[in-house]
Chains A and B, each alone.
Chain A
């Protein structure tokens, strides 16, 4: 089992550009959540996808959007990049079947640097 995988590992963009990050969930998982982690801070919830729909959203602007595919993999898109978007972007997967246990499995993250 490969666990949660994310690509790319690192990415450098300039202000105003757009970026797409990708995530493959752990085998058997159907729910994908995205988090942003600034340096020295805990991860902040961006949004969660289940059954190809955005189910929950944190306090992030519309520049942040996502998608979930029928195979449960997911993409995070960020438009009009700002310097403050520089962070580690984490993807986490979980299974709806686990019921009340919110055990999320995290990938290693994508380090985004905006210049």
Chain B
């Protein structure tokens, strides 16, 4: 399984963009990169995923390096509700639903 490295914590101001980095230098060619976040006192929730191309959805954007050894989750305008622990999870696509291997993630604080 690919190992990941994320900052332990980051701070942002409300309504400013946030770039959350993740290094996954041992990722294989078939590993999708998933991002989940966990709001306080809740279970994790899916944010976004990608393989090679940059991806956008209503929650965030995912920028994937050309060599796929790193990725960046981008929150375009942070809100107080975005304060959470963000997990970067490379996952091997084996043709069936795999398990998710969580690291410690990045705790994002958002200041008003």
Interface residues of A (CB under 8 A from B): 4, 31, 33, 35, 40-45, 48, 50, 55-56, 58, 90, 92, 94, 96, 98, 100-109
Interface size of B by Cβ–Cβ distance < 8 Å?
A: 24
Residues of B within 8 Å of A96, CB to CB, are: 96-97
- Report the bound CA distance from A44 to B42 in whole Å: 15
Q: Is the CB of A101 within 8 A of B42?
A: no
Interface residues of B (CB under 8 A from A): 32, 34, 41-46, 49, 85, 87, 91, 93, 95-105
Contacts A43-B102, A90-B43 supplied; 6 other A-B pairs, CB < 8 Å: A41-B104, A56-B99, A103-B46, A105-B46, A107-B43, A108-B41
- Which B-chain residue is minimally distant from A106 (CB atoms)? B43
Residues of B within 8 Å of A50, CB to CB, are: 96-97
Residue in B34, B44, B91, B96 whose beta carbon sits within 8 Å of that of A90 in the complex: B44
Given known A-B contacts A41-B104, A42-B104, A102-B91, A48 and B45 have beta carbons under 8 A apart: no
Q: How many A-B residue pairs have CB under 8 A?
A: 68
Tell me how far the C-beta of B103 lies from the nearest C-beta in chain A, rounded to whole angstroms.
Answer: 6
- Report the bound CA distance from A105 to B45 in whole Å: 6
Q: Is the CB of A43 within 8 A of B97?
A: no
Residues of B within 8 Å of A43, CB to CB, are: 44, 100, 102
Residues of A within 8 Å of B45, CB to CB, are: 105-106
Tell me how far the C-beta of A30 lies from the nearest C-beta in chain B, rounded to whole angstroms.
Answer: 9
Q: Is the CB of A45 within 8 A of B100?
A: yes
- Which B-chain residue is minimally distant from A3 (CB atoms)? B43
Tell me how far the C-beta of A19 lies from the nearest C-beta in chain B, rounded to whole angstroms.
Answer: 19
Given known A-B contacts A45-B101, A56-B99, A96-B97, A104 and B46 have beta carbons under 8 A apart: yes
Residues of A within 8 Å of B95, CB to CB, are: 100
